A and B are shown apart, each in its own frame.
Chain A
Amino acid sequence: MNGLVPELHDVLKLTDLHHYNITKWDKDRYNLYSKYLPKTETWRGVLSHHCPAPSWEQVDFYPTEPDTFFLAIADNLASSFSRPSAEEKGTGIFRTHKMWKHEILEHTDVRLGENKQIIDLLQFLATDPSWTSFLEKYKGLLIQRPEDAHQGKNITSLYTHCCLTGQFYRLLKGYPEFKVVTEDLQNKTQSEIYKLIGQKMSQWQLTIVRIKLHSFLNPFRARDLNFLSELEELKNELLNAYRDNIYFETSDEIHLILAEEQKISDITQIAREKGFWIEMVKARRPLYEIKPNPETMKSPKYDNLYDLPPQIAPPICSLCQAAKATKDWPNDYILSHRKLCSDCTELITNNPLATVVELLCESDRENLQDILQESAREELCETCFNIRSKEPKLPKLGTWWYNQTSNVAWLKIKLNFDHLLSTLSHIYSSTFQTSSPTEIRFSVIREFQDDYNEFLRSIQKDILSSFNYEDVEVLLDDFFCLKINRLGESLKLLGIYYRLLQEFLPNFLKITPSPLKFTIVCANLKFPFSEVWRNIEKADDDIYVSIVNRGTMQSTITALPALVANSSMKYRQSSLHKLAKVEEVSIKLAELTFKDRSDKEDFSTYSKLDNELRPVLDFRSILTFTKLIED
């Protein structure tokens, strides 16, 4: 027995029948289907999870048990619009319109309408299926069918709504302080239950929390990038532990709904053990007032959660600066991770590695070849030592490192959650011609999550197929490192980004600031990663390309088509090279050279660049762009 499966509460929306009031079914059809009606807890949830205002609609079934009462509230919280505003009549549009995609012009009704289809569904429901087994049969349909078919309300799929309802249901039901008992509900009129729901939604409070995970460790060596694997592991651990609390996540951010604030301390503790601290914003409000962005709720609280001692006696860890150093790199690593002969073990136990390299036996010197290339001594804390000691999970990066590869391009795609909400609100208002800003609710964000993940997977796939497989290291879902022979190769990434935005998120190409931030940092591989990371963290432009110590290019997303078009245009290389060289002396001189008409060929190149890019880039960015196309 699966009990009441909250995700299945709207299962009748897959059909063309009334989805909760069976008395409104056509009489003949009711007679045909009645013998197949399930007798399960889930079916009770299907029929009695709605409690509309009696003035709007009188219903025979409404919540009279705690589980259906929680289900009614969960259903409300997981809807894409607050229920009262959805009371509109009109022809339904039974296809989900995703706001980040172009509008679907063809409106096919995907619902099940044939008797056999409906009987099949009812018979399947009578077997009391779990949500997982239901998905095996009907997931495709759930994804196509919108939660609300009214024009302008069809912006989230039934699938997303059902998943989110399940999450809210378990969250509410599992919190002991949200108490409602059968006696509170039985023998009550629809009006009384309707009022009680409103009362509880004003009384009960939930906390919306946005956390960003930051590593204490400042990575300097290829091995230190193991912190990214730690980040991934930590995030997966949190995703598993707080599955029902999370409504959105990126590679380093998690957005949660919590009934108990104590869970924040638990999360901090888990993060601290793995070498991370947490940047947090939260707000606790009644259910009526919760929104996906805690910053837009009343009285948001900001905090950074660390758990650090007030003092640390020297030595302090060189990598994290947040704990006492108790390990000696590389000696302690060699002694704990490599097998050496007894003589060499004694040498390393008593002396810094750099001073005894020549005294090691040939076999052990061979064994330590990789370590000997990084012979500087460092004092590390236990956590940083353990991260660095793990086998590098980015083997290609290590190979480039030791093969003295010169340049790499670091690509990071970031998502600005505030910009995401404002962009979606803007798209909605302009698509459906509303005068006031539209409130974006949890279900829309959840709907976006799946498409965003798909977009990132496609970026990864495209990069791996456009570059030599051996030249690409996937650090995170949204973070890549590419070995490049010429700086200009990094412009290929702009082309990939543009193509996939057109495919997955075309409406984002029109609005600035974009929710997505595309950042490329080109640097020598040995340039300290901590500096690259700082550059990436700092970048907040829609498109940001930095060539370390040589310039940056910043632009809005609306400039992307022009940048992509120009990156494949033919420009006179000697003119570009000249401009880059002049800029090394003075940017003002470069600006004069750019406008100088004395050399016709140079001027023709510069005026072409000026015409193409000046509308979308400032002069410094044009200079950086020329360095990219010139190389």
Chain B
Amino acid sequence: MAAFIKYELRSDALCMGERTKGGIFRPCVKTAIPYSQISGALRKKFGSVQIHAAGYLAENNGCNRTNYFAYSPRDKAKSISKVPIKLEFLSKVHGTVFVIVNDQILNLPERFEIYMGALISKGFGLCQLTKLAVLEEKPPIQGLLRTRIPLNRKEIFGIRNVLQPVYGYLFEPSSPTTGTYVLSLFENSLVIAPEFLIYPKKGG
């Protein structure tokens, strides 16, 4: 199992959109920081495709509050406004991110900023990451997954066994303009995984 660097994530306003959309309503992810979101943001910041990370949002009261933002996207080519949409976002965001240690990220700074999620041009998505610890390898235990990780990446996160999966899809880009949706483990999958990625449960 690889070692991980644990970062604290804070943001004033963050909109990590769910794939599921309801016409004019766009829900956001409220519990996890999916692999696709955080790895994409870190890769964009540091320019390395070998960065793999995932995390989750804190559950304590007072942070990660749900808010709504009405927004009317504009079609510049036709010079018309589209139907206004209502976006969910989180404010006072507090979360934890785990980055897999490899040769290319040994020198990640102690503190840095990234942009993640949607509506960055509207002032959303600025996140501060602060290094908290380097986590040593420990035997995995049984519990419920707290994040979203593509199935084909589960081994690098030390997920040894998937006992009861909760599946969904995450977007995996293959170029700046193309990509595909890959089958992924979502929160509450029953897995045998590193302790920090799970809630201990069901005989764990």
Contact = CB atoms under 8 A, between A and B. Distances in A.
A351 to B, nearest CB: 12
Interface residues on A, range: 20 to 34
Contacts of B189: 304
B27 interface: yes
B199 interface: no
Given A302-B163, A312-B180, A218 B22 contact: yes
A376 B83 contact: yes
A376 B24 contact: yes
Among B22, B168, B183, B189: residue with most chain A CB under 10 A? B22
A374 B23 CA distance: 8
A325 B23 CA distance: 14
B167 A316 contact: no
Contacts of A528: 22, 25, 27
A545 B200 CA distance: 28
A530 B27 contact: yes
Given A309-B183, A312-B169, A304 B20 contact: no
A311 interface: yes
A221 B181 CA distance: 25
B114 interface: no
Interface string B1-27: 000000000000000001111111101
Interface in A512-528: 528
Nearest to A302: B164
Among B18, B24, B181: residue with most chain A CB under 10 A? B181
Interface in B58-113: 66, 82-83, 85
A322 B82 CA distance: 27
A310 B151 contact: yes
Nearest to A319: B20
A310 B20 contact: no
Contacts, number: 79
A348 B191 CA distance: 48
A311 B27 contact: no
A320 B163 contact: no
Contact of A304 (B23, B165, B183): B165
B119 interface: no
B183 A218 contact: no
Interface in A214-244: 218-221
Judged by DSSP, the binding face of A is loop
Given A221-B22, A318-B22, A528-B22, A304 B180 contact: no
A1 interface: no
B23 A221 contact: yes
B180 A220 contact: no
Interface in B103-159: 151-152
Given A304-B165, A375-B83, A321 B19 contact: yes
Interface in A522-563: 528, 530-531, 549
A534 to B, nearest CB: 9
Contacts of B21: 220, 318, 378
Nearest to B20: A218
B67 to A, nearest CB: 10
B23 A220 contact: yes
A374 B151 CA distance: 36
B165 A311 contact: no
A304 B25 CA distance: 28
A531 B18 CA distance: 12
B168 A304 contact: no
A218 B18 CA distance: 11
B29 interface: no
A90 interface: no
B22 A321 contact: no
A525 to B, nearest CB: 13
B183 A316 contact: no
Contact of B190 (A302, A313, A549): A302
A378 B20 CA distance: 10
A304 B151 CA distance: 15
Contacts of A220: 21-23, 25
Given A218-B20, A321-B18, A376-B23, 11 more contacts: A220-B21, A221-B22, A304-B165, A310-B151, A311-B181, A313-B180, A314-B181, A316-B181, A318-B20, A530-B22, A549-B66
Top 8 A-B residue pairs of the complex, sorted by shortest distance between their CB atoms: A220-B22, A376-B23, A302-B164, A312-B181, A318-B21, A218-B20, A321-B19, A376-B24
5 contacts: A302-B164, A303-B164, A313-B180, A314-B180, A530-B20
Interface of A: 218-221, 279, 302-304, 306, 308-314, 316, 318-322, 354, 374-376, 378, 528, 530-531, 549
